[in-house]
Amino acid sequence: MKKTVNGSITVSGYHDASKKWLTAEEAAAYLRKKVKTLYNLRSQGKLTGTRSGGAGSLLFTVEELDTYILGKRRNYV
């Protein structure tokens, strides 16, 4: 399924590799988790996320999500 988000095309949860920041929905798809799980990870201090405009949408960097994935995988090796 193709979907346009801010002029970029996402396909089945994949994002435009040139995007640095992802919305909570995009970040959840990137991690293959539910949005609620993403918020739980943030409240547990495993992810930080940033509010756009102070109280706006929650945004996550691809770098932070990759670090989380790699750190989680290291625990299973």
Backbone angles phi, psi at 11, to 5 degrees: -125, 115
In contact, 46 and 9? CB cutoff 8 Å: no
Q: In what order do the strands lie in the sheet with 21-23?
A: 21-23, 58-61, 50-51
Report, as an integer, the average pLDDT of 7-14: 44
DSSP 33: S
14-30 pLDDT tens trace: 556 667 899 999 999 99
pLDDT value at position 53? Answer: 75
pLDDT value at position 16? Answer: 61
Q: What pTM did the predictor assign?
A: 0.67
Single out the residue of 59, 63, 42, 55 nearest to residue 5, CA to CA.
59
Q: Which domains are seen in the chain, by residue range? A: 19-76 (1.10.1660.10)
**Exposure of 72 in the CB half-sphere (CA atoms within 13 A):** 10
